[in-house]
Amino acid sequence: MAVRVNPDFYRKLKKFGGQSATQCFHCGNCTVVCPLSTEEYQFPRRFMRYVQLGMEEKIKHSVEPWLCYYCGDCQRLCPRQANPGEVMMALRRYLTTTYDWTGLGRLLYTSNFWKLFFVGLLFFVTLWVVYTFHGPVVTEHVELETFAPAHIVHPVGYIFGTLLAVLLLSNVYRMYKFILGPEKISLPASVYLEELKTLLLHFFTQLRLRMCTDKSRWIKHWLLMSGYFIAFMLVNIDMVTRWSLTNEPPAWWHPAKLLWTYATFAMLYATTEAIIGRLRKKEPIHQFSHSTDWMFLLLLWPTIFTGLLVRIFMEADLALPTYYAFAFHLAFTVPLLGLEVPFAKWSHLAYRPFALYFIRLRERARAMQQPQMATEAEAQSA
Amino acid sequence: MAKKIAVYLCSGCGLGEGLNLEALAKVATKEYKIELVKTHPALCSAEGRQLIQEDIEKEGVDGVVIAGCSPRVNTEVFDFGPNIIVERVNLREQGIWCHPPGDEDTQMLAEDQLRMGIVKAKDAQVPEPYKVEEISKTILVIGGGLAGITAALEAAKANYPVVLVEKNEELGGWAARLYKQVTLKPPYNQLEEPDIKDRIKALQEKPNVKIYTSAKVEKISGAPGLFDATISTKNGTVTERVGAIILATGAVPYDASKLEHLGFGRFPNVITTDMLEEMARQGKFVRPSDGKEAKNVAFILCAGSRDPEHLPYCSASCCVDSLRQALYLKEKDPDTAVYIFYRDLRAPGQHEYLYKRVQEEGVIFFRSDNTQIEEGSNNRLVIRAKDVLVNEEVIVEDLDLVVLATGMVPTTALGEMIVVGAEEEEEKGKKEEGPLVRPDVYFRCDLLNLEYRQGPELPTLKYGFPDSHFICFPYETRRTGIYAAGTVRAPMDMRTTIVDATGAALKAIQCLELTAQGMAVHPRSLDTSYPEFNLTQCTQCKRCTVECPFGALNEDEKANPLPNPTRCRRCATCMGACPQRAISFKNYNVNMIGNMVKAIEVPEEDEEKPRIVVFACENDAYPALDMAGMKRLQLSPWIRVIPLRCLGSMNLIWIADALAKGIDGVLLLGCKHGEDYQCHFVKGSELCNYRLSKIKETLDRLALESDRVRMVQVEIMDWHKLPEIIEDFAKRLEEVGPNPYKGF
């Protein structure tokens, strides 16, 4: 099928970063040095060409952008300074908005006005809600649950979380349609379930990031991810364990509190490091910061920090500061989760493992179509 | 002729152990009655040199035969001034290094080589340089474009008077028609005002520079140092006496009307590079169909270039020109979509920075084959091409303009084509089997109008560019003292043109200075010998005037050769051509080489020691033999090597001499000839080959097999093939059997 060259795509992609794609003269060094590029899933060089020619459909149906973890080796070795890693990053941003059916992602990525508008809206609405609906303010000593009644906060939180999960999963479904839809694969439900192990493995470990040359990034990223996941779980079980949103907090050695301490400092380290990195621009991954990269960090860091303040003030039994810190903690958390998870950068927590999941499904489908090849593959893996 | 010859044998570098030097000394003393024969452990040392120097001063020695290393090494050590004949006998590289030391056959080889060296020294005379009174040191530059102006400016800067002839009213040529040029300094990727105006101004300010515009060279007669150029100018005809000439007449774009397959002439919005340049100068890029602004523009490179139907060669600059023009469009409006369809993008030298910049500006490149163009609605153009990177057909639509980057045709290729067959002239109407000599081709391009026997313009190569030895001496044309520079010489971009023109100016200066001293120019620079014609022997056969690769010889009405020694390159092709042996050099002539051949001792048939004379071209074959020695390759012991200035100087009489003497075979090692020749004298080895086609009669007369003579083409890098080449020939001779003339 002939390719109709579309110069508009390149212009469009500029808004997502990756304006250097036209500098590529296709020597292929990037693909050669990439430790993640494989025979079947070759990148980044191929994608540089897709961008140059504006092959939007091809890109939309590609899984490769999610296989790149942006170690920057390609960027360091590019003789043309075409920044292939950044172009792959731009494609992930573009794909994120393409998967999102609401159109909100597009606004966040391409317009600073709407970015500020939505962040501000959720921030101030949250503050307003806390201001309007908070419980009695006890100032003698900290009574956080009195200030923010758990029976209200938790259900609202669950509703909010469920909404986000539905939005994100609906986008994942669209991603599935784009990537595997054209192949019209038919697999028994059991395969979908079996391969969930791939999904979970990569969700929890980000093992592919370890294949990059620089292993330290995997550690930093895993600190952030594990910290976030633990904090997320602790908040979710708080209704049962009552370690946080309570008038009678347990002792410091309470397991939840110990875990929470790990989570806070792990995340604080990773995000601070990322902010400093992006300011110093030494590593390829930090050289080009899109406005949404800053939006993510500037929501995440204060979220963690205000969370830490809540704990400190609680331990110090400072009532008013605790309530203020809690209010701001919520004010940062709501736009962070509400915008980043389904529509923006944080959505990659789902897209990356799902990409690998889809590839496994594709492999399984192919193996079923060609049983003799499957036997060979099994013989090989054995 | 040397009056007193002394022989010096070097025993260093293993020669003393590998050879019986006493027996060698006896050859000199007994056979050639040479009194002064000395052996020294290192002749190249200060002490060794002193030994020779003293003999020259005290004993009156004027011919020095040094038996030791190759003449290609220690050349300056053994230079005893212009009045002393030095002959080097190569016993090291071509002796003990490629033959087993201590062997009887090696000793015989060394003795024969020494005999030949002594004979050669005996027959040699000290050449007297051919000096011309009142030589002109003015340089004539034809063409006032970038190349001509640069060459003129460089020559003027070196204080040589310059006469510049430009056919147009204004100077500047192609460069003056540019909208912008690419910066010639770092960062090499910016557009700037063309600096040709500054160059013109600088030239005009130079004293001693005469510029004729709206002028044309009507006629050039004479020779280097003595050219008389008749120039028609606005104010009548003038004659200038000049010493050297630089041809810088440039190139013209290929005729786009032949590119109908790319839409030119069929679709109004298909234009050429030159037309876009004109638009850029007008400040508007518009569609010729309706005058509306062009927002989508594509370039098709190699339009009519590298195409067997059109120009088969690469024009070297249309990539760069298109990159520059793409930048015009992007600088005017960054939103203009610009596409470049190329086959191989060539951004030589610093132009890589330009290429990169153009990519940064967002121009999209397609490496594509089979680029097709068609017209859509509203005169918008559509290009279809196979993109090799995605391996699919790509379609670019809605193009307002398509620019064809046309190639360049040298001005020497314009006009009627004239083919001069060296062979045909000799044998009109007679068909002869055997290898032909590549005919000379020139075009009646009305640029030089030389009054030369061999035609008025420069002989050209395949595509109409002036013939030159493009690897070793690109500026040297086939007419001594005339140097081609810029796009007339080869397709090139601005930066290369500037370098090229500077180089040509330097070559012209070299020519003037060497001519003034009676010396040859490249490749036999500094040679003071020149051919002398014994016209009493001449039969007016015209071989010399036809075969001279450099048109050095004119003819009088009776077809006698009229030598122009300052045009001569001293290759001695004329000497090889002359059946009457009427042409000779003081230190290189037919008798001398014949005597060398005769000096070889030929053993009786029953000794089973065949002899092979190897005539080796000095330029490639002889050094290749040296290299074989340096690499310690073993060569057949039967060979006796005689270096020749060029195989073109090979006179058939030598082969007759050799075979009559009982030598079993003659091997000629010369440069590659034909279209991609490597011969330093362009046609020498080819002419030798042609002469060999005639040897059959001679051999038949002697009742000998023609297999006894073989010519092989060797390049310098073929040194490793030499053992096999020689062995193969020796084997063939073995099959043929010994020369029946042995012992006569």
Q: Does A14 touch chain B (CB under 8 A)?
A: no
Structural domain contains residue B593: yes
Residue type, B356: K
Whether residue B423 is predicted with pLDDT greater than 80 in this model: the reply is no
Among B99, B126, B153, the domain boundary falls at B126
Do A305 and A337 sit in the same domain of this protein? yes
Q: What is the CATH number of the domain that holds B702?
A: 3.40.50
Do B62 and B116 sit in the same domain of this protein? yes
Task: Tell me the two tokens of residue A282.
Answer: 């030494």
Find the mean pLDDT for residues B529-539.
Answer: 95
* A200 vs A356: CA distance, rounded Å: 10
Do B7 and B119 sit in the same domain of this protein? yes
Do A90 and A127 sit in the same domain of this protein? no
Whether residue B196 is predicted with pLDDT greater than 50 in this model: the reply is yes
The per-residue pLDDT of chain B, averaged, comes to 93
Among B126, B155, B174, the domain boundary falls at B126
Do B238 and B259 sit in the same domain of this protein? no
Nearest Cα of chain B lies from the Cα of A199 at a distance, in angstroms, of 32
Q: What is the CATH number of the domain that holds B540?
A: 3.30.70.20
On chain A, the residues whose CB falls within 8 A of the CB of B360 are 20, 22-23
A53–B339 CB contact, under 8 Å: no
CA–centroid distance for B392 within its chain: 45
What's residue B240's pLDDT? 97
Task: Tell me the two tokens of residue A278.
Answer: 């992006």
Q: Does A10 touch chain B (CB under 8 A)?
A: yes
Task: Report the complex ipTM.
Answer: 0.85
Nearest Cα of chain B lies from the Cα of A18 at a distance, in angstroms, of 12
Across the interface, which of A2, A4, A25 has its CB nearest the CB of B359? A25
Do B172 and B158 sit in the same domain of this protein? yes
Q: Report pLDDT digits (tens) over B342-369.
A: 999 999 889 999 999 999 999 999 998 8
Structure confidence at residue B370 as a pLDDT band (50, 70, 90): confident
Q: Are B250 and B488 in contact (CB under 8 A)?
A: yes
Structural domain contains residue A369: no
* A265 vs A220: CA distance, rounded Å: 12
On chain A, the residues whose CB falls within 8 A of the CB of B345 are 25
Find the mean pLDDT for residues B303-321.
Answer: 94
Could you give the 3-state DSSP secondary structure of residue A172? helix
Please report how the helices B684-701 and B652-660 are oriented relative to each other, as an axis angle in degrees rounded to 10. 40
| Least confident residue range of A368-372, B50-54, B85-89 | A368-372
Whether residue B426 is predicted with pLDDT greater than 80 in this model: the reply is no
Do B242 and B264 sit in the same domain of this protein? no
Do B282 and B394 sit in the same domain of this protein? yes
* B649 vs A303: CA distance, rounded Å: 93
* A319 vs A287: CA distance, rounded Å: 43
Structural domain contains residue B47: yes
What's residue B684's pLDDT? 94
Do B598 and B742 sit in the same domain of this protein? yes
Q: Which residue of B has its CA nearest to A14?
A: B362
Domain tally, chain A: 2
What's residue A186's pLDDT? 83
A2–B355 CB contact, under 8 Å: no
Structure confidence at residue B428 as a pLDDT band (50, 70, 90): very low
Strand order in the sheet with B5-10: B36-40, B5-10, B63-68, B85-90
Do A92 and A111 sit in the same domain of this protein? no
* B290 vs B284: CA distance, rounded Å: 13
On chain A, the residues whose CB falls within 8 A of the CB of B339 are 5
On chain B, the residues whose CB falls within 8 A of the CB of A22 are 359-364
Instruction: Enumerate the β-bridge partners of residue B665.
Output: B612
Structure confidence at residue B420 as a pLDDT band (50, 70, 90): confident
Do A26 and A92 sit in the same domain of this protein? yes
Positive/negative CA dihedral, B357, B362, B368, B370: negative
| Least confident residue range of A229-238, A325-334, B232-241, B611-620 | A229-238
Do A356 and A265 sit in the same domain of this protein? yes
| Nearest residue to B85 via CA among B112, B66, B106 | B66
Positive/negative CA dihedral, B739, B740, B743, B744: negative
Q: Report pLDDT digits (tens) over B146-194.
A: 999 999 999 999 999 999 999 999 999 999 999 999 999 999 999 999 9
DSSP classification of residue B181: E
Q: Report pLDDT digits (tens) over B127-144.
A: 999 998 889 999 999 999
Residues of B with CB under 8 A from a CB of A: 296, 335, 337, 339, 345, 355-356, 359-365, 367, 384, 387, 389-390, 392-397
Structural domain contains residue B527: no
B435 preceded by cis ω (within 30°)? no
Do A95 and A150 sit in the same domain of this protein? no
On chain B, the residues whose CB falls within 8 A of the CB of A52 are 364-365
Residue type, B250: G
* Range B561-565 contact pairs with CB under 8 angstroms and sequence separation of 24 or more: B561/B533, B561/B535, B563/B531, B563/B533, B564/B222, B564/B223, B565/B130, B565/B223, B565/B530, B565/B531
Do B741 and B594 sit in the same domain of this protein? yes
Across the interface, which of B355, B362, B397 has its CB nearest the CB of A10? B362
Q: What is the CATH number of the domain that holds B330?
A: 3.50.50.60
Q: Report how many Cβ contacts below 8 Å link chain A to chain B.
A: 57
Q: Does A339 touch chain B (CB under 8 A)?
A: no
In degrees rounded to 5, what are phi and psi of residue B134? 50, 55
Written as one string, the DSSP assignment of B494-528 is: HHHHHHHHHHHHHHHHHHHHHHHTT---TTSTT--
A3–B362 CB contact, under 8 Å: no
Percent of chain B with pLDDT over 90: 89
Among A61, A77, A99, the domain boundary falls at A99
Q: Report pLDDT digits (tens) over A301-347.
A: 999 999 999 999 998 989 999 999 999 999 999 999 999 999 999 99
Positive/negative CA dihedral, B673, B676, B677, B683: positive
What's residue A2's pLDDT? 87
Q: Which domain holds residue A347?
A: 104-360
Do A254 and A190 sit in the same domain of this protein? yes
Structural domain contains residue B40: yes
Q: Are A114 and A107 in contact (CB under 8 A)?
A: yes
Residue A369 CB contacts under 8 Å (≥ 6 apart), including other chains: none
Do B371 and B388 sit in the same domain of this protein? yes
Do A193 and A235 sit in the same domain of this protein? yes
Do B402 and B444 sit in the same domain of this protein? no
Structural domain contains residue B425: no
What's residue B429's pLDDT? 44
Q: Report pLDDT digits (tens) over B61-85.
A: 999 999 999 999 999 999 999 999 9
Q: Are B279 and B285 in contact (CB under 8 A)?
A: yes
* B419 vs B425: CA distance, rounded Å: 11
A3–B356 CB contact, under 8 Å: no
Whether residue B496 is predicted with pLDDT greater than 90 in this model: the reply is yes
Do A195 and A304 sit in the same domain of this protein? yes
Q: Does A20 touch chain B (CB under 8 A)?
A: yes
B394–A5 CB contact, under 8 Å: yes
Structural domain contains residue A312: yes
Q: Which domain holds residue B71?
A: 1-126
Do A237 and A110 sit in the same domain of this protein? yes
* B323 vs B359: CA distance, rounded Å: 9
Domain tally, chain B: 5
Do A79 and A145 sit in the same domain of this protein? no
Structural domain contains residue A374: no
* B511 vs B517: CA distance, rounded Å: 10
Q: What angle do CA B149, B155, B159 make, to 5 degrees?
A: 135
Over its C-alpha atoms, chain B yields an Rg (Å, rounded) of 31
Q: Are B244 and B512 in contact (CB under 8 A)?
A: yes
DSSP classification of residue B130: -
Find the mean pLDDT for residues B412-441.
Answer: 70
Q: Which residue of B has its CA nearest to A83?
A: B360
pLDDT per 10-residue tile (average), chain A, 382 residues: 88 89 94 94 95 94 95 92 94 96 94 95 96 90 89 91 96 95 87 94 93 89 94 89 84 89 95 95 89 95 95 91 94 95 94 95 88 62 58
Across the interface, which of B361, B364, B397 has its CB nearest the CB of A4? B397
* A246 vs A154: CA distance, rounded Å: 12
Do A94 and A161 sit in the same domain of this protein? no
Q: Which residue of B has its CA nearest to A58?
A: B390
Task: Tell me the two tokens of residue A16.
Answer: 């997502």
* B180 vs A318: CA distance, rounded Å: 73
On chain A, the residues whose CB falls within 8 A of the CB of B355 are 25
Written as one string, the DSSP assignment of A22-91 is: GG-----HHHHH-SS--SSS--SHHHHHHHHHT-HHHHHT--GGGG----SHHHHH-TT---HHHHHHHH
Written as one string, the DSSP assignment of B424-474 is: HHHTTT----SPPPPPEEEE--SS--B--TT-SS--B-TTSSBP-BTTTBT
What's residue A18's pLDDT? 83
Percent of chain B with pLDDT over 70: 97
Do B26 and B62 sit in the same domain of this protein? yes
Structural domain contains residue B198: yes
Whether residue B466 is predicted with pLDDT greater than 60 in this model: the reply is yes
A22–B362 CB contact, under 8 Å: yes
Structural domain contains residue B658: yes
Structural domain contains residue A54: yes
Structure confidence at residue B312 as a pLDDT band (50, 70, 90): very high
B129 preceded by cis ω (within 30°)? no
Structural domain contains residue B521: no
* B529 vs A172: CA distance, rounded Å: 90
Task: Tell me the two tokens of residue A243.
Answer: 């370690």
* A361 vs A63: CA distance, rounded Å: 13
Do B261 and B349 sit in the same domain of this protein? yes
Task: Tell me the two tokens of residue A36.
Answer: 């993640």
Across the interface, which of B335, B363, B394 has its CB nearest the CB of A53? B394
Q: Does A320 touch chain B (CB under 8 A)?
A: no
* B28 vs B34: CA distance, rounded Å: 6
* B365 vs A26: CA distance, rounded Å: 10
> Which tops the pLDDT comparison, A7 or B582?
B582
Residue B570 CB contacts under 8 Å (≥ 6 apart), including other chains: B520, B524, B527, B529, B530, B531, B585, B645
What's residue B434's pLDDT? 47
On chain A, the residues whose CB falls within 8 A of the CB of B364 are 5, 7, 10, 22, 52-53
Whether residue B464 is predicted with pLDDT greater than 90 in this model: the reply is yes
Across the interface, which of A3, A23, A55 has its CB nearest the CB of B356? A23
DSSP classification of residue B400: S
Among A80, A99, A118, the domain boundary falls at A99
